[in-house]
């Protein structure tokens, strides 16, 4: 099928914006001056196909090479790595981790090593492909505080964050009607009423941050485990963020822009599809009830890849096996342990790891297919997989030889364009402290479709040049000479980027039971919380590791 | 230079039927107006003289173009772009002029003289006008290209017109060959005269060069009323000559007042004559000279004036050197002008000076511009000095060099976040770790009088980084009351005597008083400036807006 330029750009950017941008796009500028290097990247495709069909029979794995260990971890994202980190802290050394991809980190992975396109020592040496930041943990989150302490991110008091790890001021800027302004709120031209609502919204969130339930737990906390599950609070999950705003008289377009941006940024959903509970969590759980001030953002030039790199040091090189697609997790009879069946994605050869316990740290849609007791329980239940939706994301890294032109407020960590379906871009040299010379921008575009599968189609139908053109069209209104400064542009497609906290999903009854172990099989992954955050992934990894440690100690002792 | 398109218009009738001067002048009927002739035979003009005018016109045309390029470069920076743009626009507008010449079908000689005058007026005053618009970037660019286009167009009209006038004198082959030869010759002459004679040898200010060639151009116009007199009605001849005189008088006047006029334009920004201006990758550099002083501006902010920079730099360097136990390994952050280094080199015990400045253009300027070299006494060429071009904070963080005995920190004021980070607690932590256990640093810290909160915010940030501080201040006429902070990893006492005698400002008498703060500059409570929360940039812009 042949697509017209307008059709494809409308598909990626949405028809109204694409039409408008194309109208003021001068043909002279349209042609990229030279062929910009770059390619499409993504997760291992073969895995998806393999997992959709039923796994190879046990006889194949009975004859396959086998390794034995105490604990086998399936999935090397933050949750799996957090489990390894915690097992190590608990004194558990017998473990092995199987990861499907070549690289660890899951959706928090980064690119390490100098940019090939920018032959300059001042160019960034690391930049993210996915997750970018966490927020400063409050005191209830001791495990994360101690991780950050171990990393040297916290001051010696174990609480305050060293300033070089907090986002450097200025944090964000907004491109609005031709100019950059400081901050995210479009204050210019705001009416009295806009300002009143903005302030009232802040006060409302502060009140919600202080709120506690009957048992004295905070109403909203990250990780969710520390917050309330009281129905009077979780009932917010049944309405959308947009409905909640309207109900509370928050009608200001400017305010709603900011809240919509927050939902798209953290959850890949619009205001209309995000659970009001998740939206409130975004704000209220990030206010320190003690001081009433917002918790600050912690980041690294390579994003959360820095956390991944540190967690990985808990594992020796021979304890990690990448390129290993786990297809079956089988409890052994009579509680004698667990057998994990995997296929080497390069050779196609089967292999097996036998262990006393397994920690399955894969996304929920994978877990359902690879954990045998779950698969058997839900066989024939076609709806099982439909209960959660995954948002498709496009992440592009733009390698720039120099800073492009712009007008208005100076460069910030995060640059947002007011009426763009994208989230704008994060500048990789900002945290390093370089404001001049080569840099890499990480541009995020969530597919916020009401139907998640339509979003996935929008992600996989266009080809590389379409994405490149759409990104340039979107950014060139703020930076006219961007194409001249662009040395390379790579596009990463996350088909199942993150679980979406749609209305009614976070506090659905099924989600709440999925963290329970099934015999020797324990579970970790951010999906268990119903929303995708490093803090949740870390929490589940640590919890699963502690469960396993208790089991092993119990049986040893 | 010129590439006339079809110089010979179809309706042109140089040898039209005879008509009485009077009727020809008054009856402007449709169709070509025959030039006045006493006889039916073509009136001979002096080709040699006219060819000379081609030469002058071409020379002047090229000079206008070069001028525009030079001024654009000096104001907007990026010489490659400015030159290619001005040349491009100029050549194109000449093409437009050549084309437009085809619409002039009557009274060719008279039009030719008019065009000369217009070119003289616009071309001559362009430089001056541009300098007047100096302070306003948008107006400047607009003016630059509008005038450039006008001049190019006028010059583009000249040659085709002249060829048409000469057409009856020479045969076509000869005509094209001769006119173009003189045209190109003029271009060569223009470029040589402009760059070698006027700018480099005679050092005529740019705007004066423009006026000079404007006058020349005007003279050619007036002269043409004689050369072409047979083709101009007598009544018009006088009018044309008067016009020429007015243009010449205007240009002469402008020349006479150009100094004052130009100063008016720059005064807004710099006050003095600009002797160097460049847009580097990082900032705009301007050096001015006049009134016996040289000044350096970065992004429009005064860095020093040669009249009192010794006060600033002596106060920056010597108290730290007096208080330091060892003085062999020195670090200078910022200060690419070499003036602090000049002061440091007075100490024979100094073994190495590592100078870290973001902008290679600043250190290049300090090493090559005679006015600056004279001021810093060639300090940056000293074998003890090592130059590093990098962001000081990134360098401190990544290079991890040291330990240094003394550090001199001299950054521009924190008027944006990129500069503000160089005044944060984190920066001072990095600075501290680059110092030896007994090491000291002197830090330029804005004015405790004009920006009191900013000054004490800097000081508070240093203390928050675990440094011991001894703030001090010095009056500097160009800046006002200026502030510094002496910091050390160990508790420090203000020095009581200098190790260098024979300085121009400092002596042991004034030294102790510098560390005493009068009531209106005394410490105020200020927040700590942090990377993630740069209060200093906010303090500073608030205090600055209060002053201006
Ligand atoms: C574009 C984008 C931006 C984001 N930004 C942020 C952010 O700024 N901050 C934040 O906190 N969160 C962010 N997130 C959410 C982020 O995904 C989570 O923070 C975190 O990565 C979740 O970790 P996890 O270990 O639970 O899951 P994942 O990261 O999904 O890790 C799962 C791992 O399991 C592996 N795996 C899957 N199937 C198999 C199999 N069959 N066999 C073996 N291995 C398998 C995968 O390859 C992967 O490595 C972002 C997500 C995306 C997509």
Give residues with Cβ within 8 angstroms of A458, minimum separation 6. A11, A12, A392, A447, A449
Average pLDDT over all residues of chain B: 84
Q: Which of A164, A172, A413, A432 to mutate to test the interface with B (most CBs of B within 10 A)?
A: A164
Which one, of A289, A338, A345, A351, lies nearest residue A322 by Cα? A345
pLDDT of residue B403: 95
pLDDT in the model for residue B129 = 84
Residue A351 confidence (pLDDT) above 90 = yes
What one-character DSSP code corresponds to residue A350? E
Question: Whole-model pTM?
Answer: 0.77
Interface test with B, best of A168, A299, A439 (most B CBs within 10 A): A168
The highest-confidence range among A540-549, B111-120, B140-149, by mean pLDDT, is A540-549
pLDDT band (50, 70, 90) for residue A353: very high
- CATH number of the CATH domain containing A265: 1.10.405.10
The two structure tokens encoding residue B181: 């030869």
Say which residue, B188 or B411, is predicted with more confidence: B411
8 Å CB contact of A168 and B421:
yes
Determine the pLDDT at residue B258. 75
Residue B8 is predicted with a pLDDT of: 35
Strands A172-176 vs A179-182: parallel, antiparallel or unpaired: antiparallel
pLDDT over 50 (residue B135): yes
Ligand 1: centre distance to CA A104 (Å): 10
Percent of chain A with pLDDT over 90: 75
pLDDT mean over B317-326: 96
A409 with A441, same domain?
Answer: yes
The third-level CATH classification (topology) of the domain covering B48-267 is: Growth Hormone; Chain: A; (1.20.1250)
On whether the CB atoms of residues A433 and B418 are closer than 8 A, the answer is no
The CA distance from A307 to A147, in Å, is: 9
Residue A115 binned pLDDT confidence (cut-offs 50, 70, 90): confident
Which atom of ligand 1 sits closest to the CA of residue A393? 1
Confidence of residue B6 (pLDDT cuts 50, 70, 90): very low
The shortest C-alpha distance from A242 to chain B (Å) reads: 32
Could you tell me if A525 and A395 lie in one domain? no
CB-CB contact of A217 with A228 (8 Å): yes
Q: Using a CB-CB distance cutoff of 8 angstroms, which residues of chain B are in contact with residue A435?
A: 391, 418
What is residue A540's predicted lDDT score, i.e. its pLDDT? Answer: 97
- Poorest-confidence range of A195-199, B29-33, B418-422? B29-33
CATH number, domain with residue A474:
3.90.660
Instruction: Compute, in angstroms, the gap from residue A75 CA to the centroid of ligand 1.
Output: 9
Has B337 been annotated as catalytic? no
Cis omega (within 30 of 0) on the bond before A223?
yes
Q: What residues contact A45, with CB distance under 8 A and at least 6 apart?
A: none
Mean model confidence pLDDT for chain A? 91
pLDDT at A382 > cutoff 70? no
Whether residue B146 is predicted with pLDDT greater than 70 in this model: the reply is yes
pLDDT attached to residue B318 = 97
CA distance B446 to B483: 6
Q: Using the predicted structure, report yes or no on whether residue B212 has a pLDDT greater than 80.
A: yes
Tracing tokens 């005269």 back to the chain, one arrives at B193
Q: Spell out the residues 6+ positions from residue B233 whose beta carbon is closer than 8 angstroms to its own.
A: B21, B24, B25, B36
Higher-pLDDT residue of A120 and A381 is A120
Q: How many CB atoms lie within 10 A of CB A139?
A: 10
Q: What is the mean pLDDT of residues B404-419?
A: 94
> How much of chain B exceeds pLDDT 70, in percent?
85
Give pLDDT tens digits for B264-314.
655 555 667 778 877 788 888 888 888 788 999 887 788 999 999 999 999
Residues A380 and A400 in one domain: no
Give the three-class secondary structure for A438: coil
What pLDDT is recorded for position B516? 96
Determine, yes or no, domain membership for A309: no
Q: Coil, strand or helix: which one is B446?
A: coil
Residue B7 has pLDDT above 60, yes or no: no
Q: How confident is the model at residue B136 (pLDDT cuts 50, 70, 90)?
A: low
**Geometric angle at alpha carbon B428, from B424 and B429, rounded to 5°:** 115
pLDDT at B33: 40
Compute CA A370 distance to the chain's CA centroid, rounded to the nearest angstrom. 22
Least confident of A23-32, A333-342, A436-445: A23-32
What pLDDT was estimated at residue A384? 52
Overall number of domains in chain A: 3
CATH number of B306-547: 3.40.50.150
Task: Give B273-303's CATH code, choosing from 2.70.150.10, 2.30.140.10, 3.40.50.10860, 3.90.78.10.
Answer: 2.30.140.10
Q: Which residues of A touch B (CB under 8 A)?
A: 122, 162-164, 166-171, 296, 402, 410-411, 432-437
Look at residue B16 and tell me whether its pLDDT is greater than 50.
Answer: no
Range of the domain at A467: 5-31+108-133+389-499
The answer to whether B273-303 and B306-547 have equal CATH topology is no
Residues 6+ positions from A377 with CB-CB distance below 8 Å: none
| Omega of the bond leading into A170 within 30 degrees of 0 (cis) | yes
DSSP secondary structure code for residue A128 in this structure: E
Q: Which pLDDT does position A27 carry in this prediction?
A: 53
Residue (of A13, A121, A30, A37) closest to A397 by Cα position? A37
- Asked if residue B189 has a cis previous peptide bond (ω within 30° of 0), the answer is no
- Strands A320-321, A350-360: parallel, antiparallel or unpaired by DSSP? unpaired
**Lookup result for tokens 């790595």:** A81
Q: What is the pLDDT of residue B31?
A: 39
Distance between A356 CA and the closest CA of chain B, angstroms: 46
Distance (Å, whole) CA A232 – CA A223: 19
Complex ipTM = 0.88
- The pLDDT value recorded for residue A53 is 79
Q: Is the pLDDT of residue A399 over 60?
A: yes
For residues B190 and A109, the model is more confident at A109
Per-residue pLDDT averaged across A85-114, rounded?
94
- Let me know if A439 is exposed, middle or buried by CB neighbors in 10 A (0-12, 13-18, 19+): buried
Average pLDDT over residues B255-262: 73
Average pLDDT over residues A35-53: 82
Let me know: does B133 contact B268? Beta carbons within 8 Å. Answer: no
**How far is the C-alpha of B218 from the C-alpha of B195, rounded, in Å?**
22
Residue in chain A closest to B535 (alpha carbons) equals A169
Residue A145, min C-alpha distance to chain B (Å)? 19
> Atom 36 (ligand 1): residue with closest C-alpha?
A75
Report the percentage of chain B scoring pLDDT > 90.
Answer: 47
- Judged against a pLDDT cut of 60, whether residue A103 lies above it is answered with yes
pLDDT > 60? residue B14: no
Give the pocket of ligand 1 (CB within 6 Å): A 74-80, 98-101, 106-108, 130-134, 304, 325-326, 361-363, 366, 370, 393, 395, 444, 494, 497-498, 525-526, 532-534, 537
Q: Please tell me the predicted confidence (pLDDT) of residue A151.
A: 97
Q: A336 vs A501, which has greater pLDDT?
A: A501
- Give the DSSP per-residue string, B300-346: TEEEEETTTHHHHHHHHHHHHHHH-S--SEEEEEE-TTSHHHHHHTT
Radius of gyration of chain A (CA): 24
Domain definitions of chain B by residue range: 48-267, 273-303, 306-547
Q: A359 and A224 share a domain?
A: no
Claim to verify: residue A174 and residue A290 sit in the same structural domain: yes
Residues A21 and A13 sit within 8 Å (Cβ to Cβ): yes
How far away is chain B from the Cα of A102, in angstroms, using its nearest Cα?
A: 30
* A367 and A475 belong to one structural domain: no
Lowest mean pLDDT among B67-76, B104-113, B350-359: B67-76
Band of the pLDDT at B4, cuts 50, 70, 90?
Answer: very low
Residue A389 pLDDT > 80, yes or no? Answer: yes
**pLDDT (average), residues B68-84:** 72
- Which helix (H) or strand (E) element contains residue B94? helix B79-100
Chain A partners within 8 Å of B281 (Cβ): 402, 436-437
Q: Give the separation between CA B431 and CA A129, rounded to whole angstroms.
A: 33
The mean per-residue pLDDT over the stretch A302-319 comes to: 96
Task: Check residue A524 and give left, alpha or beta (phi > 0: left; psi -120 to 50: alpha).
Answer: beta
Spatial separation of the C-alpha atoms in residues B357 and B339, rounded to whole Å: 13
Residues of B in contact with A410 (CB under 8 A): 416-418
Let me know: does B384 contact B353? Beta carbons within 8 Å: yes
CA distance A460 to A457: 5
- The pLDDT tens digits for A134-146 are 999 999 999 999 9
d(CA B298, CA B300): 5
Residue B18 above 50 pLDDT? no
B445, B336 in Cβ contact below 8 A? Answer: no
> Does residue B21 surpass a pLDDT of 60?
no
A357, A338 contact by CB (below 8 A): yes
The rounded Å distance from CA A194 to ligand 1 centre is 37
Chain B: residue nearest A166 by CA? B532
C-alpha A243, offset from chain centre:
25
Task: Name chain A contacts of B420, Cβ cutoff 8 Å.
Answer: 169
Tell me what percent of the residues of chain A surpass a pLDDT of 70.
95
B262: pLDDT confidence band, cut at 50, 70 and 90? low
Question: What is the model's pLDDT at position B5?
Answer: 38
Mark whether A464 and A416 lie in a shared domain. Answer: yes
Q: How far apart are CA B442 and CA B489, in angstroms?
A: 12
Least confident of A232-241, B103-112, B440-449: B103-112
pLDDT at B67 over 90: no
Identify the helix (H) or strand (E) that includes residue A544: helix A534-556
pLDDT band (50, 70, 90) for residue B249? very high
Instruction: Please state the atom number of ligand 1 nearest to the C-alpha of residue A82.
Output: 25
Q: Say yes or no: A378 and A396 in one domain.
A: no
**Of B114, B357, B410, B413, which residue is the catalytic one?**
B410
Contacts of A473 (CB under 8 A, 6+ apart): A9, A13, A18, A21, A22, A25
- Residue range A162-191: mean pLDDT, rounded: 91
**CA count, 13 A, side-chain hemisphere, B153:** 13
- Whole-number pLDDT of residue A230: 94
The answer on pLDDT for B497 being more than 50 is yes
Contacts of A299 in chain B (CB under 8 A): none
In a domain, A260, yes or no: yes
A294-324 core/surface letters (b: 16 or more CB in 10 A; e: else): bbbbbbbbbbbbbbbbbbbebbeeebbbbbb
Same domain, A477 and A426: yes
Q: Are A143 and A311 in contact (CB under 8 A)?
A: no
């Amino acid at each position: 099928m042949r697509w017209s330029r307008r059709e494809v750009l409308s598909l990626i950017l949405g028809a109204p914006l694409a039409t408008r941008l194309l109208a003021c796009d001068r043909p002279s500028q349209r042609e990229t001056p030279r062929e910009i290097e770059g390619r499409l990247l993504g997760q291992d495709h073969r895995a998806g196909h393999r997992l959709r069909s039923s796994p190879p029979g046990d006889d194949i794995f009975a004859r396959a090479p086998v390794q034995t260990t105490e604990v086998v971890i399936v999935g090397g994202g933050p949750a799996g790595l957090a489990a390894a980190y915690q097992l190590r802290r608990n004194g558990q050394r017998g473990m092995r981790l199987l990861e499907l991809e070549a690289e660890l980190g899951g959706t928090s992975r980064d690119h390490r090593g100098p940019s090939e396109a920018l032959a300059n020592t001042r160019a960034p040496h690391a930049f993210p492909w996915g997750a970018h930041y966490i927020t400063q943990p409050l005191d209830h989150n001791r495990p994360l505080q101690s991780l950050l302490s171990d990393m040297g991110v916290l001051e010696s008091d174990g609480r305050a964050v060293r300033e070089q790890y907090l986002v450097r001021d200025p944090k964000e800027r907004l491109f609005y009607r031709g100019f950059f302004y400081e901050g995210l709120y479009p204050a210019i031209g705001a009416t009295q009423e806009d300002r009143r609502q903005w302030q009232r919204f802040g006060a409302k969130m502060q009140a919600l941050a202080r709120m506690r339930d009957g048992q004295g737990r905070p109403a909203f906390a990250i990780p969710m485990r520390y917050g309330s599950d009281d129905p009077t609070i979780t009932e917010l999950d049944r309405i959308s963020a947009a409905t909640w705003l309207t109900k509370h008289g928050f009608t200001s377009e400017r305010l709603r822009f900011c809240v919509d941006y927050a939902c798209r940024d953290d959850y890949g959903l619009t205001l209309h599809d995000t659970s009001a509970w998740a939206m409130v969590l975004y704000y209220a759980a990030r206010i320190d009830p003690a001081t009433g001030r917002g918790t600050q953002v912690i980041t690294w030039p390579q994003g959360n890849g820095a956390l991944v790199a540190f967690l990985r040091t808990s594992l020796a090189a021979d304890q990690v096996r990448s390129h290993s697609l786990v297809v079956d997790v089988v409890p052994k009879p009579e509680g004698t342990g667990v057998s994990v069946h995997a296929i080497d994605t390069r050779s196609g050869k089967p292999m097996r790891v036998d262990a006393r316990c397994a920690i399955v740290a894969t996304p929920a849609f994978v877990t359902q297919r690879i954990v045998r007791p779950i698969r058997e329980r839900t066989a024939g239940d076609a709806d099982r997989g439909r209960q959660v939706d995954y948002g498709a994301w496009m992440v592009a890294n733009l390698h720039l030889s120099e800073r492009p032109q712009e007008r208005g407020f100076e460069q910030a960590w995060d640059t947002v364009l007011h009426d763009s379906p994208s989230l704008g871009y994060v500048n990789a040299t900002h945290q390093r402290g370089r404001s001049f010379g080569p840099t890499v921008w990480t541009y995020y575009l969530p597919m916020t479709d009401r139907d998640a599968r339509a979003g996935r189609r929008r992600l996989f139908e266009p080809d590389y040049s379409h994405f490149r053109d759409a990104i340039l069209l979107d950014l060139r209104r703020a930076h006219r000479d961007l194409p001249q400064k662009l040395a390379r542009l790579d596009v990463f497609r996350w088909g199942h980027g993150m679980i979406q906290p749609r209305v009614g999903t976070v506090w659905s009854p099924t989600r709440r039971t999925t963290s329970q172990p099934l015999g020797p099989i324990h579970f970790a992954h951010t999906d268990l919380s119903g929303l995708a955050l490093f803090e949740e992934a870390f929490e589940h990894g640590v919890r699963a590791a502690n469960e396993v440690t208790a089991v092993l100690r119990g049986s040893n002792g | 230079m010129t590439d006339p398109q079809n110089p010979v218009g179809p309706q042109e009738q140089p040898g039209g039927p005879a008509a009485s001067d009077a009727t020809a002048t008054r009856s402007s009927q449709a169709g070509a107006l025959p030039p006045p002739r006493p006889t039916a035979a073509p009136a001979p003009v002096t080709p040699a003289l006219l060819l000379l005018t081609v030469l002058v016109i071409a020379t002047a045309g090229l000079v206008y173009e070069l001028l525009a390029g030079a001024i654009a470069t000096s104001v907007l920076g990026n010489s490659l772009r400015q030159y290619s743009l001005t040349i491009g626009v100029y050549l194109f507008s000449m093409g437009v002029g050549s084309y437009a010449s085809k619409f002039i079908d009557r009274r060719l000689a008279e039009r030719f003289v008019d065009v000369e005058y217009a070119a003289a007026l616009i071309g001559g005053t362009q430089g001056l006008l541009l300098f007047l618009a100096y302070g306003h970037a948008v107006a400047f660019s607009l003016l630059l290209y509008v005038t450039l286009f006008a001049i190019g167009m006028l010059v583009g009209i000249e040659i085709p017109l002249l060829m048409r006038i000469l057409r009856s004198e020479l045969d076509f082959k000869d005509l094209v060959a001769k006119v173009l030869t003189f045209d190109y010759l003029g271009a060569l002459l223009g470029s040589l005269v402009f760059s070698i004679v006027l700018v480099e040898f005679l050092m005529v200010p740019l705007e004066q060069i423009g006026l000079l060639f404007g006058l020349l151009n005007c003279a050619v116009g007036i002269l043409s009323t004689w050369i072409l007199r047979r083709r101009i009605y007598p009544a018009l001849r006088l009018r044309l000559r008067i016009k020429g005189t007015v243009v010449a008088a205007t240009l002469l006047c402008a020349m006479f007042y150009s100094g004052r006029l130009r100063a008016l334009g720059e005064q807004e920004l710099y006050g003095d004559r600009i002797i160097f201006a460049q847009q580097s990758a990082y900032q705009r550099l301007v050096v001015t000279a006049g009134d016996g002083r040289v000044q350096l501006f970065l992004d429009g902010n005064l860095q020093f004036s040669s009249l009192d920079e010794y006060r600033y730099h002596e106060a920056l360097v010597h108290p730290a050197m007096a208080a330091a136990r060892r003085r062999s390994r020195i670090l200078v952050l910022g200060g690419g002008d070499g003036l602090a280094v000049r002061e440091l080199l007075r100490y024979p015990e100094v073994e190495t000076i590592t100078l870290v400045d973001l902008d290679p253009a600043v250190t290049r300027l300090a090493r090559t511009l005679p006015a600056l070299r004279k001021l810093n006494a060639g300090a940056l060429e000293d074998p003890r000095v090592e130059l590093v071009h990098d962001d000081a904070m990134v360098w401190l963080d990544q290079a991890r060099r040291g330990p240094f005995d003394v550090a001199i920190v001299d950054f521009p004021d924190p008027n944006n976040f990129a500069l503000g980070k160089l005044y944060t607690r984190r920066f001072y932590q990095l600075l501290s770790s680059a110092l030896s256990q007994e090491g000291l640093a002197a830090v330029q810290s804005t004015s405790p009088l004009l920006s009191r909160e900013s000054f004490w915010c800097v000081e508070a940030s240093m203390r928050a980084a675990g440094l011991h501080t001894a703030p001090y201040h010095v009056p500097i006429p160009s800046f006002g009351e200026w502030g510094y902070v002496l910091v050390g990893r160990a508790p420090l006492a203000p020095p009581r005597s200098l190790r260098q005698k024979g300085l121009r400002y400092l002596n042991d008498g004034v030294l102790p008083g510098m560390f005493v703060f009068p009531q209106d500059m005394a410490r105020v409570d200020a927040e700590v400036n942090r990377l993630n929360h740069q209060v200093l940039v906010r303090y500073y812009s608030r205090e600055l807006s209060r002053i201006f």
